[in-house]
Structure 1
Amino acid sequence: MKAALKISSAIAAVAMFGAGGSAAWAQDAGGAETSLGVDDIVVTATRREESANRIPVAIQALGAKQLEQLNVTSFEKLVEYLPSVRTASRGPGISSVYIRGLSTDTAGSQILGVAGVQPNVALYLNDAPASTPGRNLDIHPTDINRIEVLAGPQGTLFGANAMGGAIRYITNKPNLNEFEAGFTGMAATTKGGAASFGAEGFINLPIVKDKLGLRLAFYSDHQGGYIDNVAGTYRMPWDAGGPGRLPTGNPLLVTQAIQSCVGKVNCVATATGTSGGFKVPLRQSISNNAFIEDNYNDANYNGGRATVDFHINDDWSIEAMTLYQELKTNGVFDYAPGVGDLKVQQYGPNTLKDTISLSTLTLKGRMGILDMIFTSSYQNHHSVQQADYAKYANIGLYMPFYNCDRGVYYAGYATSAAQGQTCYSPANSYKVNDRNKRWTQEFRITTPAENRLRATVGGFYDLNKIYDVTQWNYVLPAAGFIYDLTPNPQVNKEIGAGVLPGAGFVNTILRRDRQFALYGEASFDIVPDKLTITGGARYYDESAAMYGGSSSSFSGTVRATCATVSTDPATGLTTCNYVPKAVAPTSLAASAVLSTNLAGINPAKYSGVIFKGNLTYKITPDSLIYATFSEGFRPGGFNRKGCNGGVAAQAAYAAACAANRAYAPDKVKNYELGAKLGLLDRRLQINVAAYKIEWKDIQMAAFDQNISNQTFVSNLANARIYGFEGDITARPSAGLTISSGFSYNDTKLTGCTGNAIATLLCAQGVLVPAGSPLALSPKFQGNLRFRYEWEMEGGLKPFISAGMHYVGKTITSDIANTNILYTGCNSPYATCPSAANPNAANATINGVFVKPGDPIQLQPNSFNQPSYTTFEASIGVSKDNWSLTIYGENLGDKRPQLFTSANDGEKRVTTSRPRTIGMRVSYKM
């Protein structure tokens, strides 16, 4: 708390300077015109139209002019200018957004629909909420009026997902009086990459003057690739280790090797000596020759928007807007440092088709002194992603079942040539088919802003459904999976989805979240034009449900019979020859039946009230200081599977498994002091805020195969954040603008929660230790920009601008690692140790003593990301209605680690596009 007190003292000092310093500069400047002041933007962050620099809210607003000057053409580009915002991105259309350090990382992209936590930053398009777990709408910012970024909990006005803040895209509305049109063309070249090019434009038609208008916006943007898929081969990994070292590789192969050494003296990891017991399987390789390609990670945005505005009379109007966007990508957008700079080795197709259809209807009117607005929105967000999954064999505990002969999977058969001793080419992939359908209704009333007592009250309803059909295609015909099977009907009732041949594991799940809320904020001027107090509250009633389940090929009926074997002459190991069963199976087995797993707790309902309080003092008409207390929350949800069968059967884990079926909401409390100072005739604008945030019962996604072979979410930890953020803009002269933004966040996990799963994972060191920072939260990040423009004879207006961005070091996840434990069993499904499993015993291998429960393999999940600095610059000229800009981005050609992961046991890094030089030409009439 001392840090927060020091920061608040600094704010007070700046405020005192603002109160006395403005007049001095005005005198020195010779009575400069206020037109030289810093541009101010009207926002609706408080649900009223107010100046961004004159409201007691930590907000950063970028208007259309700034967005164009900064060449913001994507969300990732936008984040560079938002110092309190970070993302965990795996490429276009696959990112999670965080504000003020409230981040812990997210689940892998293939299970975001079912195991991705709800966002803690609310994303809005106008008044329509559009947040989605892990796949926040990646809207191309064409014909945008402004983007508002509200930092800190905004729960009273913006609801459940705004506990870290809110980001609002505000589109341009039709002009009912004048015809307008504009067009922009752009092209760019990237060092070592493919060319990029695009076009966008808008047309505004006043159909009936002052009554009816239509505005159309459209865009097409091709972003060339810069990551190469290079030649390679891959097979299921195995290394024998050596004296004093355990073997490494696929965790089940390691387990089998250790198990083979039970009761043996001087046992080694391979059967090279008479004392050895484990036979390393014949592991076939896969080649990526069919997928080798340079610059293969391209992205294409195509879409448009139409808005109709009809003014019924002087008091009432109705507006209808519809947006459609199609995003297609190829390749991957993170590279493997172990392969090379901007290089990967992928063994199958990687594609994404992400379509967004969002429509809103808004009715605005006035009754007496009351302003009213009703908004209805419907969103249909459909993502189809196909990805290579070969390297999941690095870490998948059960991959030998899918990819290998029975003699490999069951240790009891490892010495039996009749069961086969081969792992086949791991041609594994997955396909995600997620459809998010969301319907929202909101009605609010505001009283006149000029009243001493003024209020906003409203009601909100949201029905959000995610239909997830995800299939993992890793069953191999060579391993006896020769039947085309359907999902188990017991778990497929809600969706009724079909799958492609080769599916070995399938999610067919409906995730439904419903919320109803009543909210209000009221402000009273204790001293008119000087001192104002504001109070707000939101009552919420939430319901979360999950239906359907998971199907898998873990059943003896879905595999063909190993009738005969062939022997490899080089190794002496056998390969099975499979023949169909007399009665062919038709469907996969039930792996997780949610009607059974969640019986008695599904749906989950929770309700409550969150509060906000604010006290604002206006030093001058252009300067204020404020103190705020605010709260936020995020809904809870369910897991497909609490624990694996063998784990769940053990008494020590029974309580943890039962608790792991669901997770509760997490909540934040925010204590904030801030100042907004318009100094020196508003030629200097300083906005700063200091805050302390308490985050309780943090929802984290974990993939811990010791507990469950399915990713789960649990309330694992608590945290606190001390922070200081701000932005400063100065206009020393009419043509020169200098601006900067910065944030400092001292984040810390304060400890694990008391739930059973958290206790287990903390005891095993799966979470980072207490005192560690939150993921993707640099202590300091900031940017600095300047722009100078002037006018020449003939009306030409040249400009030059430059900027830099600095981001401090971070860690990538608060799930530090997963320790794969030795079960001491023939099968990972068995309950160990027990009398029924006489081989469940200690072993000595390579001279290392191993007993059941010991870690045999560490899977790192959290990585250190170093700090970085990037630079950009642009020059250009404009005249009348046209402009020409030449720009350079990432001029130092850096490889910042924006997000690092190892979902498949391979370190992968999302980085910035290499040095890019581009040109943009615009014309407006």
Structure 2
Amino acid sequence: MKTLWSTSAAVTVLAALGAGGSPAFAQTAPATQAAPTTQAAPDNTNAIADIVVTATRREESLNKIPLAIQALSGDSLAKLNVVNFEKLIEFLPNVRTASHGPGTSSIFIRGLSTDSPGLQIQGTAGTAPSVALYINDAPASLVGRNLDVYAADLQRIEVLAGPQGTLFGASSMGGAVRYITNKPDLQNYHAGFNGTYSFTKGGDNSVAGNGYINIPVIKDRLAVRVVLYGDQQGGYIDNVPGTYQVPFDAHIGQAGRLPTGNPLLVMRALQSCQLTATTTVANCNGSQYNAPTRQSINNSQFVEDNYNDATYKGGRIAATFKINNDWSIEAMHVRQQLKVDGVFEYDPLVGDLKVQQFNPNTLRDKFNETTWTLKGRLGFLDAIYTGSYLHHSAVQKADYARYSNLGLYVPYYECDRGVYYTAAYNGNIGNTCYTPSKSYQVRNKTQRITHEFRVTTPAAERLRGTFGLFYDLSKLYDNTDWSYLEPLAGFINPRRPNPAVNAHDPSVRPLQVGFFNDIQRRDRQIAAYGEASFDIIPKQLTVTAGARYYDEQASINGSSNTSFASGGRGIYNPATGTYSVSPTATPFYGISANLNTLLKDVSPAKYSGVLLKGNITYKFGGGSLVYATYSEGFRPGGFNRRPCKVGAPGCSPAQFAALAVYVPDTVKNYEIGTKLALLNRSLQINLAAYQIDWSNIQMTVFDQNISNQTFTTNLTDARIKGVEGDVTWRATPDLTFNGAFSYNDSKLTKYRKNTVVLLPLGSPLALSPKFQFNVRGRYEKELSSGLRPFIQGAFHHVGKSISSDISNVDIRYQSYNPTLGYANSIPIVYNGVTVRPGDVISPIPVSQNQAAYSTYSASIGVSKDQWSIELFGENLSDARPQLYVSGNDGTNRITTSRPRTIGLRVSTKI
């Protein structure tokens, strides 16, 4: 178990904040908030508290707006032990993630998902997200990975389902997730602290603490609120001893049987014996290829129990200054550091919660976001300007040894030239594949600045509206190095990027780096939007119309760089079988793709258009309503580095141009819903039924038959029909039940391009289970002593799904022979079997089945006045839910939940 010292120290400091010497008193709502978080009917003690949200850019009651939205108040988040998104989705039935662990999740709502590419290329080749992420009014979405925001001292989290294009713009076509923080209180001093210690079955213990302090510096004028948190989550996956080598069938002498294993080794086994169409070379015996000697790697230096731990550290400071009765200024700065070691996926072939990793796996993720807001009145209008600056950096190192399972060019990187260019070198430059110690390092940096100005007319008027202007500029810098090269195979010449590519990072790379990206992406958005509502019948029948004009500009520059044909190898000495540094070697990497020239005619790409929304709502029965909505959404297009090699079969200049750019994908949503307040507002039922038509779906593909670089293209259309709902029943003043469910029937409906990589039409979308639901209940009663004992239980079920809509990327035997070229490649007779160019080696399928699962949690405790203590248990059945199954790198890995965890939580306020 790794040290808990740093987190324990943070907890101690926070405890001092929360347990100061002032007498305890009730915390009041911050004076700067125009409406409290919850409201309850005064005439009914069983009435459900109604959360006030700003999903429509106005403060309105959650259950009184015609929108499919779920919201969890800060109090509910604490009671449910929700600290990050992985825990949050247990209570959001129509939300899924493709998660590789903390800091590496993609969010999907209503089944708008098809695949999730590997982490190593999400910055360069990843698409924009389909769900928008906000911290208050500041956009915080990123390309490739979402901010893993720690939920401390939040007023609420809002999850808006379905396209939110008119009010929230690009990348909100699936919905939006909004983290709403508690604001400074101008009137009262108060502070609070929460501490948690927990034990995980078979894993390390975890400890967490967070606290806040609110200081009215000048009462009714200026206040400051400070939040600090630390959370060290112990590991539970073991890295166990193992060895590994480049795969190649050892029984190659068996008649009638082809060799299998790494595709390039197989291809070379079949082709490289052919010096001409009728003669073979010295390293071959007829058609019998001499298999290479393959060295093994072991992971002895990385073996560790419970080696996947994560630590969140951070805080925020917010200030509010009331200029006068009409105007105020708010400012906030958020800073978070996430440190992750190990992997959060296990390999079922190795064992339960076990993996075999051969290189370091670490993530260092940091973000800072500064926001500023000016609020006031312009005549009868409420006006608000808000701006934000987000700086995010992620440095991730990962083991990549098992890329040898399917990487076409792996033998070039780590084997002697005689292994794969037998004919060209007559078998005289070695026949060994060295230890497959491969890894990659991602260095991503994002800078995003936004400005938004909007006005709203008085909510009480029969005709009312919200109108705004929006500007967004995002820059992503991606530098990813793949360490493939084996010095024993001759890669001993140090190199740097070719000056022709104007690299953002021009430094000399380590000897082992065989390929790297040096990419800069830039996205600029300008938009004008508005929504207006008119009461046809006051307080009963309302129509709403909205529109957003957007002008998007996306650009990319930089390069991909390769060790091929770049003088990376030293001078070979056949007498000793060793290499020496070449004094005349080119000190530069080869250029695999110079985007500054390849894409100069298409970058920047410009997209503009109008998104529409329409709604009609009928209110009845003192708090109930029905509605019908039409809404639209989109996410921006982008570029590919080198989708194919011009001149190779299947890659004409026209085909290259068709794959160089992918255009925006769009959704159209048709929805009807109802919100029913029943039994004197003690029972609330919210339901929505929808159909979503998704066109020009962007999908990321690694198809080595087309390109050795991952690319994105518009491959298909889909349709989603679904029903979702949530129920809250306050059976008595002491007993409350909550439940939520979703049913999604999703189907691929049309191929946009000729493809052999997708599942058949009619197949479901990835990570879109047909049925999922959750239920929870809480009983809490105040005794005459003032103590309030409580007990709470929850059940969460997710149906079966698939991990990707890419069925399989079969690797075909190349039509290219290293000696004979493309045109003269011929069938080969191997062990009595005729093998032709285009015959297939099938790796494990990309699309994996994800089994249905259920989890249980419970807690019991007591509170009084401003303190509480509780004992909680999570994943009580110790299940192994398949949250995400990845078939990357030719091996299955399963992201699962933390095993059974029992813990103690204490909190206090003053």
TM-score category by the smaller chain?
over 0.9
In structure 1, list runs of 5 or more residues that go unmatched: 1-30, 567-575
Identify if the C-alpha distance between structure 1 residues 247 and 533 changes in structure 2 by more than 3 Å, giving closer, same or farther: same
For the residues of structure 1 that align with 2:64 and 2:507, how far apart are their CA atoms? 53
Q: Which residue of 2 aligns with 1:423?
A: 433
| Distance apart, 1:793 and its partner CA | 2.7
| Distance apart, 1:557 and its partner CA | 1.4
Q: Which residue of 1 aligns with 2:379?
A: 368
Check if 1:352 corresponds to 2:363: yes
For the residues of structure 2 that align with 1:267 and 1:737, how far apart are their CA atoms? 82
Specify the SS of the correspondent of 1:610.
strand
Asked if structure 2 preserves the Cα contact closer than 8 Å seen for 1:467 and 1:495, the reply is no
Specify the SS of the correspondent of 1:818.
coil
For the residues of structure 1 that align with 2:344 and 2:502, how far apart are their CA atoms? 33
Q: Which residue of 2 aligns with 1:308?
A: 319
| Distance apart, 1:825 and its partner CA | 2.7
For the residues of structure 2 that align with 1:244 and 1:76, how far apart are their CA atoms? 50
| Distance apart, 1:902 and its partner CA | 1.9
Q: Which residue of 1 aligns with 2:909?
A: 924
Check if 1:146 corresponds to 2:148: no
Q: Deviations over 1:821-859 (max 9, x none)?
A: 11233339x862x1xxx4x11123344332222223334
Q: Of residues 175, 181, 189 in structure 1, which corresponds to 2:191? A: 181
Check if 1:905 corresponds to 2:904: no
Check if 1:634 corresponds to 2:635: yes
Specify the SS of the correspondent of 2:419.
helix
Asked if structure 1 preserves the Cα contact closer than 8 Å seen for 2:205 and 2:233, the reply is yes
Q: Which residue of 2 aligns with 1:598?
A: 599
Q: Which residue of 1 aligns with 2:852?
A: 867
Asked if structure 1 preserves the Cα contact closer than 8 Å seen for 2:494 and 2:509, the reply is no
Q: Which residue of 2 aligns with 1:259?
A: 271
Specify the SS of the correspondent of 1:200.
strand
Report the AA paired with residue 73 of structure 2. Answer: G
Report the AA paired with residue 369 of structure 2. Answer: L
1:158-177 alignment runs, 5 A limit: 158-177=168-187
For the residues of structure 1 that align with 2:612 and 2:234, how far apart are their CA atoms? 47
Identical amino acids, percent of aligned pairs:
57
Q: Which residue of 2 aligns with 1:524?
A: 534
Q: Which residue of 2 aligns with 1:21?
A: none
| Distance apart, 1:394 and its partner CA | 0.9
| Distance apart, 1:247 and its partner CA | 2.0
| Distance apart, 1:50 and its partner CA | 0.1
For the residues of structure 1 that align with 2:794 and 2:87, how far apart are their CA atoms? 13
| Distance apart, 1:646 and its partner CA | 4.9
Identify if the C-alpha distance between structure 1 residues 310 and 178 changes in structure 2 by more than 3 Å, giving closer, same or farther: same
Asked if structure 1 preserves the Cα contact closer than 8 Å seen for 2:398 and 2:439, the reply is yes
Q: Of residues 195, 211, 231 in structure 1, which corresponds to 2:221? A: 211
Specify the SS of the correspondent of 2:229.
strand
Q: Which residue of 2 aligns with 1:10?
A: none
Could you tell which deviates more after superposition, 490-499 or 459-468? 490-499
1:404-419 alignment runs, 5 A limit: 404-413=415-424, 416=427, 418-419=428-429
Q: Which residue of 1 aligns with 2:568?
A: 558
Q: Which residue of 2 aligns with 1:541?
A: 551
Q: Which residue of 2 aligns with 1:5?
A: none
| Distance apart, 1:263 and its partner CA | 11
Report the AA paired with residue 151 of structure 1. Answer: A
Asked if structure 2 preserves the Cα contact closer than 8 Å seen for 1:491 and 1:508, the reply is no
Q: Which residue of 2 aligns with 1:719?
A: 718
For the residues of structure 1 that align with 2:119 and 2:378, how far apart are their CA atoms? 48
Q: Deviations over 1:17-63 (max 9, x none)?
A: xxxxxxxxxxxxxx994232112100000000000100000000000
| Distance apart, 1:794 and its partner CA | 1.2
Asked if structure 2 preserves the Cα contact closer than 8 Å seen for 1:266 and 1:845, the reply is no
For the residues of structure 2 that align with 1:62 and 1:747, how far apart are their CA atoms? 27
Q: Deviations over 1:771-828 (max 9, x none)?
A: 1000000000010100001112311100001111000000000111111111233339
Check if 1:330 corresponds to 2:341: yes
Specify the SS of the correspondent of 1:138.
coil
| Distance apart, 1:654 and its partner CA | 4.1
Q: Which residue of 2 aligns with 1:857?
A: 842
Identify if the C-alpha distance between structure 1 residues 498 and 534 changes in structure 2 by more than 3 Å, giving closer, same or farther: farther
Q: Deviations over 1:638-659 (max 9, x none)?
A: 0011203552xx4664432221
For the residues of structure 1 that align with 2:459 and 2:415, how far apart are their CA atoms? 71
For the residues of structure 2 that align with 1:220 and 1:488, how far apart are their CA atoms? 44
For the residues of structure 2 that align with 1:331 and 1:278, how far apart are their CA atoms? 40
Asked if structure 1 preserves the Cα contact closer than 8 Å seen for 2:643 and 2:710, the reply is no
For the residues of structure 1 that align with 2:288 and 2:646, how far apart are their CA atoms? 28
Q: Of residues 212, 233, 250 in structure 1, which corresponds to 2:262? A: 250
Check if 1:800 corresponds to 2:791: yes
| Distance apart, 1:262 and its partner CA | 6.1
Report the AA paired with residue 588 of structure 1. Answer: Y
Asked if structure 1 preserves the Cα contact closer than 8 Å seen for 2:768 and 2:802, the reply is yes
Q: Which residue of 2 aligns with 1:844?
A: 829
Q: Which residue of 2 aligns with 1:382?
A: 393
For the residues of structure 2 that align with 1:219 and 1:823, how far apart are their CA atoms? 55
Asked if structure 1 preserves the Cα contact closer than 8 Å seen for 2:795 and 2:856, the reply is yes
Asked if structure 1 preserves the Cα contact closer than 8 Å seen for 2:275 and 2:424, the reply is no
Asked if structure 2 preserves the Cα contact closer than 8 Å seen for 1:884 and 1:921, the reply is yes
Identify if the C-alpha distance between structure 1 residues 565 and 39 changes in structure 2 by more than 3 Å, giving closer, same or farther: farther
| Distance apart, 1:427 and its partner CA | 1.4
Check if 1:70 corresponds to 2:69: no
1:220-259 alignment runs, 5 A limit: 220-239=230-249, 240=251, 242-259=254-271
| Distance apart, 1:495 and its partner CA | 5.0
Specify the SS of the correspondent of 1:451.
coil
Q: Which residue of 2 aligns with 1:101?
A: 111
| Distance apart, 1:500 and its partner CA | 3.8
Normalization by structure 1: what TM-score?
Answer: 0.91
Report the AA paired with residue 436 of structure 1. Answer: T
Asked if structure 2 preserves the Cα contact closer than 8 Å seen for 1:726 and 1:743, the reply is yes
Specify the SS of the correspondent of 1:427.
coil
Asked if structure 1 preserves the Cα contact closer than 8 Å seen for 2:274 and 2:423, the reply is no
Aligned length: 867
Asked if structure 2 preserves the Cα contact closer than 8 Å seen for 1:469 and 1:497, the reply is no
In structure 2, list runs of 5 or more residues that go unmatched: 1-40
Q: Which residue of 2 aligns with 1:17?
A: none
For the residues of structure 1 that align with 2:530 and 2:651, how far apart are their CA atoms? 48
Report the AA paired with residue 544 of structure 2. Answer: T
For the residues of structure 1 that align with 2:818 and 2:749, how far apart are their CA atoms? 38
Q: Deviations over 1:193-213 (max 9, x none)?
A: 000001100000001111100
Q: Which residue of 2 aligns with 1:284?
A: 295
Asked if structure 2 preserves the Cα contact closer than 8 Å seen for 1:104 and 1:775, the reply is yes
Asked if structure 1 preserves the Cα contact closer than 8 Å seen for 2:126 and 2:143, the reply is yes
| Distance apart, 1:420 and its partner CA | 1.0
Asked if structure 2 preserves the Cα contact closer than 8 Å seen for 1:262 and 1:842, the reply is no
Report the AA paired with residue 686 of structure 1. Answer: I
Identify if the C-alpha distance between structure 1 residues 224 and 646 changes in structure 2 by more than 3 Å, giving closer, same or farther: farther
Measured on the aligned residues, the alpha-carbon RMSD in Å equals 2.0
For the residues of structure 2 that align with 1:169 and 1:112, how far apart are their CA atoms? 24
Q: Which residue of 2 aligns with 1:15?
A: none
Report the AA paired with residue 681 of structure 1. Answer: N
For the residues of structure 2 that align with 1:440 and 1:497, how far apart are their CA atoms? 32
Q: Of residues 201, 205, 223 in structure 2, which corresponds to 1:195? A: 205
| Distance apart, 1:738 and its partner CA | 0.4
